[in-house]
Structures are given as C-alpha cells and as structure tokens.
Structure 1
Amino acid sequence: MSVYTVAHSPDADDIFMYYAIKFGWISSKNIKFENIALDIETLNEKALENFYDITAISFALYPYIKDEYALLRTAVSFGEGYGPKLIKKRGKKLKKDFKVALSGKYTTNAMLFRIAYPDAKPIYMNFLDIEKAVVDGIVDAGVLIHESILDFDSSLEVEKEIWDIWLELAKEELPLPLGGMALRRSLPLNKAIESEQMLIDAVKIANSHKKLLSQMLLERNLVRIDDKKLDIYLNLYANENSAILNEIQLKAINRLFEIGFNSGFYNCPIDVNDYLIPKEYEKLRYS
C-alpha cells in the first residue's frame, strides 16, 4: 500500500471536503492518506518546496509549481458573487499608499489586491489576526478571507469586495478561483488517478451527507464556527460545484492565470487544461 501525505487547511470547507476519508467513508486497498492541517499560506510555501504529496493551494500559486505538481479537478473553492473582503475602520479614508494586512503573498486575493492597489503597502500575517490588526490600528485595512468574512467587528466596514476587483479584471462574470488542490508529479500515474478519484468521491459523499458530516465535525470541535455559520459557509465554498471542475471554472482559472501573466506575476502563459491529470491513461492501460 502506498502512503501519501495530504495537506489541507483547518478551514471549515477543507475539513468538510476531506473528512469523509478521515472518518473511513472512503478507502482503498492501494492507497492510504496521512493528513495534516496548516494555514493556506504555509501550504503555498510548502508547495514551493515540493513538500507534500497532495496539498491544498491558492489557485494564484499554481503557475509557480506547475512543473512539480499537477492540478487536481476536485476540492475546489470559488466565489460566485462573494469572496474575500477589503475592510477598514468605519469612515476612514484610505491614502494611496495605505498599509494593508494580507493573508499571504501567494494567495489569490493578494494577487488581485496588489493589481488593483499597486501603491498599497502589504503586511502579510495569519488571516485570523487581520481583523484585530485593523481594529487596533496596526494597519489601515485588511483583506478578510475564509470564515472571517461572515462576521466581523461592528467598528469595521467593507471598502471593496475582491469579487468586484475580479469582475473588473476578468471583464466578464466568471466564478472567482480561490483554492484547489495539487498532486506531486513524482507519484505513479495510476496512483495519481486513484488518489484524485478518492478525493472526488470524498467531496461527493460529504455533500450528499452534509447534515450528518457537519454534525460530526461540530461534535468533535473540528471547525471554528457554530452550526448556523457552518451551513452558510459550506454553501459558499464547499458545495456541488466543488467536486469536479467544470468548463466555466476552468475558463475562470485560465482567466486568472492570464491576468497574473499580463500583470507580471508569472513568467509565461499557461493553459490549465495542460496541467490536469490525464485520466484517459487508465482506460488505455486496461484496453
């Protein structure tokens, strides 16, 4: 049996999409997963080191790791009319070079923010600390992500939705690509295909048993939010569109890569379709 490390964030959507495997609802005679939960920017940085076999990443990171990792079709999170929020103190007027807290250099929201606000001065910190940094005046503004977008201090207000920045840059209404998963190319192709299918099945089963799985996560204190916020959050970021990338989502990822390349973040243009696991191999192998 092959044992592979699977790294994901401790955020409710990632936990929800993976834990059907952790609870034994999905298993394999050929593959065993060992999971670890770390914040998304740590995972982005570890991916640059080719550290984990399978890892959650920000979509904006992927062009930097394309030679070492294939992009998986599953466990994806997109914003559709919503997403990260740039917040500030109520009534505060931001200067051109305002100081802003971002959740990490390689996150999708950070890239889009830096394109929209090239003169702002980023400070990178754990996303859990961003709201307090704005309230305490350590920074002028901050971009909230994950569960923190659902509820924040009443002294704060939204300056700009990252969704609106995305629409302005994409020039059409496409879902906002936030996070996905990648798999090391050094894994044998048949094991890579099976690993991807296990993760796809995990997301599908999680969605079809949402109430039960959510209850189990809450009872075990595996998520940071209560049942009402968990339901809202999963509807946003871990839903029926999270199981397998569709054509509109693939188009949106390519648009993100195009925006990044045109803005000087990547050294070459890429097409996401060239970097997915070639699933047709399994059919050819046994034909």
Structure 2
Amino acid sequence: MTLTLGFSPCPNDTFIFDALIHHKIDTEGLEFEVFFDDVETLNQKAIRAELDISKLSFHAFAHVYDQYELLDAGSALGFGVGPMLISKNEYLANHPDNLNKNLRVGIPGKYTTANFLLGIAFPHLVEKQEMVFSEIEQSLLDEKIDLGLIIHENRFTYMDKGLHKVMDLGSYWEQQTGCAIPLGGIVINRKLDRKLKEKVNRILRKSVEYAFANPKSGIEFIRHHAQEMSEEVMYKHIELYVNKYSIDLGPEGRKAIDVMFDLAQQNGLIKRITKELYLMS
C-alpha cells in the first residue's frame, strides 16, 4: 500500500524520515510517495486535505484537526527553539516596546506557529507580507520590510548578515507558559483505517529512533536537501528540533500543545476545538 507523505527539506525533517523512506527500517509493507515542500505550502495542502500524512505547523493543525489527527511521533517541540523577530534597524531591535503598527513584517506564512506567536506578542503588527522563510533575511537587507519573522536555520545566520534580534518569541512563549514551544507535528488523515494509522505512527517512531542511533546514516540525503547549509549548521538545526518529543509526545508534549490551543481559542485566533486531537489517546 502506498501513502502520500509531505515534509519539508529542512534537516530536522529529512533526519526524521530518512530511515522510513529509504527502508532502513521495516515499513511493514507500506510505501510512501513523498512530496517536499516548505512548511507553509504543506500547511495549505493540509487545509485542502491533499495528503495522507503531512508535516505541518501546529497553528495550521488547529484549522484542520477535523480532517487530520496528530501522530505521537515526529513532532518538533522544545525550549530555546522558537521563531525570532529581527530587523536591520538597530533602534527597533533595542526598543521592542516601541514597534508601531505601520511597520512591515515579513512572515513565513499565515498558518505558521511563528505567525501565531507574533500575534500573541505583538497583536498590533498587522502589516504582514507572506514570503518563503529563506527570503526574509534578504528582504530585510534590501529594506523591503522593516521586521522579519525567521524560523529554522536562519536563527544561526542572521547576525552574520548584520541583522539584529528584536525578540526571541520562543523565549517569550516559555516565560508566559513554562511549556516547551510546539512548532510542528506529523498528522494523518482521519479517514484512514485506525490500524493503518497506528502502523504509520509505529514506523515513524522507529525511523526517529534509527536516526538517533545512527545520526550520520542519512547525511547525504540531509545534505542534498539542505542546499548550501554547512554540516555544522545542519546538525545544530537537528539538535534543536529533534528530541524526546519527536519520539513520543508524552504528557508534557501534549500539555504544551493543549496550552497553545487554549490560548489561541481565548484570543479568538482559532475556532473552538471539538474533536480529540491525538491519534494515540
């Protein structure tokens, strides 16, 4: 049986899925047709329910939970891993309390968790321009935008380009909630058979465990999709976003997601949740 699977070319995703798609583990008879897309494209595909299994932002999951369930394996949560608001303008970086509503903000997508956190921390920043996350730094340098919301490996590179931190939104979240920040998860279509969904979760967990046990096994696959990223940055990226929550959400991981969704509902950012979110409940 072949299932459609979407994830990003970022090192954390290729690290997690390498063993699964290259049959380094027993996939129990399952094959996967893989689609590589940036996170916001995956979010949009999930909204259209195009894929059987997909990586997506937790913010997007709040909008598609009636069509998808969250797998227990494969999620990206953690401390010190959140999105960052940056600027070319050093004054703005030194005076985050003075950000005015007319500032142009480059965001990596409407349904990204990064945009959700921006809305919580700076609800008055509404002049947003959606763009591919890898283009945000250059747009700041070209002064096409005043503020940039960066994710992934850009947190390691922005200072080298003369850009400045306005706020680490991950740290902001941690201070407000005491929870790990839920960034992205792996979801599966609710229409699929329950045993099939449990099989996928089991295989995915094995894939993550294999990656941890053999961290260099997928290096060529990871490097191929990481484009110009250095190996050092690739593995910094993986260390940040792949951890114990990627093997098993556990009570702590689920609590962080529940807190995020409760906060989003209280702020009117998402509709009321009326279904069980988790496959392994």
The answer to whether TM tops 0.5 is yes
Q: Show the counterpart of 1:228.
A: 232
| Alpha-carbon displacement from aligned partner over 1:213-253 (angstroms, at most 9, x marks no partner) | 335533xx232322111221111012333111121111100
What is the match of residue 96 of structure 2? none
Aligned length: 272
Q: CA deviation digits over 1:177-196, x for unaligned, max 9?
A: 00001000111111111011
Q: If the length of structure 1 is used for normalisation, what is the TM-score?
A: 0.89
Q: 2:130 aligns with which of 113, 118, 124?
A: 124
Please state whether the residue corresponding to 1:41 is helix, strand or coil: helix
Residue pairs, 1:24-173, within 5 angstroms: 24-93=23-92, 94-120=99-125, 121-152=127-158, 153-168=160-175, 171-173=176-178
Distance 1:277 1:258 in 2: 19
Task: Report the equivalent of 2:215.
Answer: 210
Fraction of identical pairs, as percent: 28
Asked whether the equivalents of residues 82 and 171 of structure 2 are also in contact (C-alpha less than 8 Å), the reply is: no
Tell me what 2:180 maps to: 175
Contact 2:69 2:187 in 1 (8 A): yes
Conserved 8 A contact 1:207-1:240 = no
Gaps of 5+ in 2: 93-98
Counting only pairs closer than 5 Å after superposition, residues 180-195 of structure 1 correspond to structure 2 as 180-195=185-200
| Cα separation, 1, equivalents of 2:220 and 2:37 | 22
Give the alignment of 1:241-260 within 5 angstroms.
Answer: 241-260=245-264
1:95 positional shift: 2.8
Letter in 2 for 1:24: H
Distance 1:38 1:215, change over 3 A: closer
Deviation at 1:172, TM superposition (A): 3.1
Letter in 1 for 2:168: E
Query: Unaligned regions of 5+ residues in structure 1, if any?
Result: 280-287
Contact 1:58–1:107 (Cα < 8 Å) also in 2 = yes
Specify the alignment match of 1:264 in structure 2. 268
Q: Which one-letter code corresponds to 1:230 in the other structure? A: M
Answer 1 or 2: higher relative contact order, Cα 8 Å, separation at least 6.
2
Contact 1:254 1:270 in 2 (8 A): no
| TM-score, scaled to structure 2 | 0.91
In structure 2, the residue corresponding to 1:241 is in which secondary structure? helix
What's the CA shift for 1:161? 0.4
Q: 1:269 to 1:192 in 2, by over 3 A?
A: closer
- SS of residue matched to 1:275: coil
Q: Distance in 1 between matches of 2:129 and 2:11?
A: 25
Per the TM alignment, residue 154 of structure 1 is displaced from its structure 2 partner at its CA by: 3.2
Q: Which amino acid aligns with 1:222?
A: H
Q: In the alignment, what sits opposite 1:238?
A: 242
Cα separation, 2, equivalents of 1:108 and 1:178: 6
Q: CA deviation at 1:24?
A: 1.5
Q: Would the aligned equivalents of 1:113 and 1:165 in 2 still touch at CA under 8 Å?
A: no
CA distance in 1, matches of 2:101, 2:221: 47
